[in-house]
Structure 1
């Protein structure tokens, strides 16, 4: 699928394409994300952010914290070396699970902007490399749009 198919209306012949992969296209005039079109000149306050923690990672974190509270309380009450050893091992296991889940289900990368005076999520992906490429393309498109308005 090419950018010509996605953004033919209003597209000038001299248009520059900065990115065009996996249903996302950035030109000097448009951002097209899976069929949704945003006019570059109407984007204000472009921001990059991380999305919320995914459910599996959040569940692992809460389960690990609950286990630490229970085992830590028991170790504190018993005050025996074996109880403290179990508490430390539980903490290490909980940390390992949380780290594994965090890598397996990382928070998404998001690009936000004010579009027609409304905060709008423009683009979201879990792929850090794709996000970087789209971000750089957006920066170039916005800078080119600003230069065009100044001349």
Structure 2
């Protein structure tokens, strides 16, 4: 996606592009994400966050807790080496399932700001590298806007 269409008519001569890849563009005047445009000068209280836990991770956590709730009392009641071994293996399997789900379906990375005085999700991705690049570009754009005398 090219950002030439953003403000070609009346585009200021010193406009700087900080990032322009995969449908996301950050200039000193605009943040464009998937066709949505946000004016940099109208962004306040910029924050980076992690999204909610994904459904598969939540399910793995719930299953793991349910397994432990069933197996732990059995191990305490029978208190034999075999019962403790089964409890330990069940705990290891539950932990492994949760770790696998967390790696496979991690929480998304999000950028939020008040845009025109409303909390707004500006950008969200599961790609940590892309998130870092876009957030650094947006921080540079916001900082440049604050230093600009005509803000």
Contact 1:6–1:35 under 8 Å retained in 2: no
Tell me the number of residue pairs that the alignment of Structure 1 and Structure 2 aligns.
Answer: 151
**So what's the TM-score if we normalise by structure 1?**
0.95
Partners of 1:10 and 1:80 in 2: CA distance: 80
Any unmatched runs of 5+ in structure 2? Answer: none
Partner of 1:91: 91
Contact 1:111–1:123 under 8 Å retained in 2: yes
Q: Relative to structure 2, which stretch is displaced further, 2-11 or 12-21?
A: 2-11
Give secondary structure in 2 for the equivalent of 1:37.
strand
Q: Deviations over 1:79-132 (max 9, x none)?
A: 222111100110001111111110000000000000011100000000000000
Root-mean-square deviation (CA), in Å? Answer: 1.5
- Matched ranges for 1:15-54 at <5 A: 15-54=15-54
**So what's the TM-score if we normalise by structure 2?**
0.95
Partner of 1:132: 132
Any unmatched runs of 5+ in structure 1? Answer: none
Give secondary structure in 2 for the equivalent of 1:112.
strand
